[in-house]
Amino acid sequence: MISVLFMTQGNQDIINYAMACRTTDLFSSLEERLYQDFPKYRNVDKIFMVSTKRISRDKTLEENKIKNNDIICLFPIE
């Protein structure tokens, strides 16, 4: 089990939103959990990044090189 933090860039909607997960979880499953608490981002064009690297939705956290306490940034595209 690891913990990751989500933050939005460009606004203060999501700040240090912690989520417990496994390194074998697909990133898309974390994204769905995020939308349960922040549904307004479901239908917004966006990019997720960790440590300046773009996250692939269809890969696991391990494949995306996401580690414990990493901060995942959500960049809405306007």
Q: Are 5 and 48 in contact (CB under 8 A)?
A: no
pLDDT in tens, 23-48: 999 999 999 999 999 999 999 999 99
pTM: 0.92
pLDDT for res 78: 75
Which of 58, 3, 68 shows the shortest CA–CA distance to 31? Answer: 58
Helical segments of the chain, H only: 27-37
Domain count, the chain: 1
Tell me which residue range forms the domain holding 57: 2-76
Which two three-digit tokens encode residue 30? 């974390």
In angstroms, the CA 22 to CA 46 distance is 23
Across 42-70, average pLDDT = 96
Radius of gyration in angstroms for the set of CA atoms belonging to the chain, rounded to a whole number: 11
pLDDT for res 42: 93
